[in-house]
Structure 1
Amino acid sequence: MKRLLQLQSFIFGSGTIFAYYTVFADFSRFYGFEGTFFKFTGCVVPNPLLTPCFYGAFAFLFGFVWSLFILRGGEAFRTKHQLYLMLLGLAGTIFAWGNTAYGFYKFYVLNNNTGCSGVPTESPFFTPCMVGAIIFAVAFAVTVFARRKTRLTST
């Protein structure tokens, strides 16, 4: 059981590192073009505060911290909070795949080759949204297995 909870924390932690690396790169690029973080309209690239990756990064961080509390908590705490973490994983997965689907729509239907971070892309398969969606889906799958394990061990 402990290994599964450690895997859960590792996946959420990996997602957090990936997302914040992407957000940092987006902020660096934005500041390089605009010279400020407080411009929201008429920008060369979108302000990172307005991109889905910024909010996905917070979801990953929240999930990572929560998974650490579950890892350290007692059996009753694990049973209760594993359900909530699983629901966060589900919400994050829906959010990420929704943004990825919108990116595919823009790329293939609207012929817009701008990725989710506002930079041109050769394919929507290689965008941070796609990677984040995959990490969230894996995290959600692991939370489902961990939830089943916690329910079995608590009865």
Structure 2
Amino acid sequence: MPPKGKQATKGQKQIQEENQSTLKFYMYIIFGINAAYLVLQYIFFYDSFTALYIILFLWAVGVNFGSYKFMSSMASKGIDLNMEAGMAEHAKDVILVTCIVQSISLISNYFWLLWLLVPGRAFYLLWVNILAPWIFAEAPEVDEKKQKKMERKMRRH
């Protein structure tokens, strides 16, 4: 049962503290997965640790730290990182998907293909929120008075 009355708002100090703990949590995830990936690749797959593994690892590191930097820049502006349906939510999702894909890719390199879900999701959000409403928007209604005025103007020319 939801509480009665107005929902309490967070103060700027509480938002900053929560942002710092969120950033710390995601930094631990990023460092932990990357360290585990390198160690396990080196120990178990040393003979097959090729340029492909290095490129994929560097790709994952770049994506993770790019998303982390985006989140930290939002936090420095005082934006709540734990707000639902915000841009930080998407950055957190990208970090988590990248870390999950990176960890299960130790089983098979084909799991890197799951990372294609991220641009697919980005295109879906672009389509649903921007492109489709713009393309399929109904033409604005013109009232009769303006329509007659436009017709008279067209006949004059």
Shorter-chain TM-score bucket reads: 0.3 to 0.5
Q: Which has the higher contact order (CA 8 A, sep 6+)?
A: 1
Q: TM-score, normalised by structure 1?
A: 0.40
Q: Which has the larger radius of gyration?
A: 2
Q: TM-score, normalised by structure 2?
A: 0.40
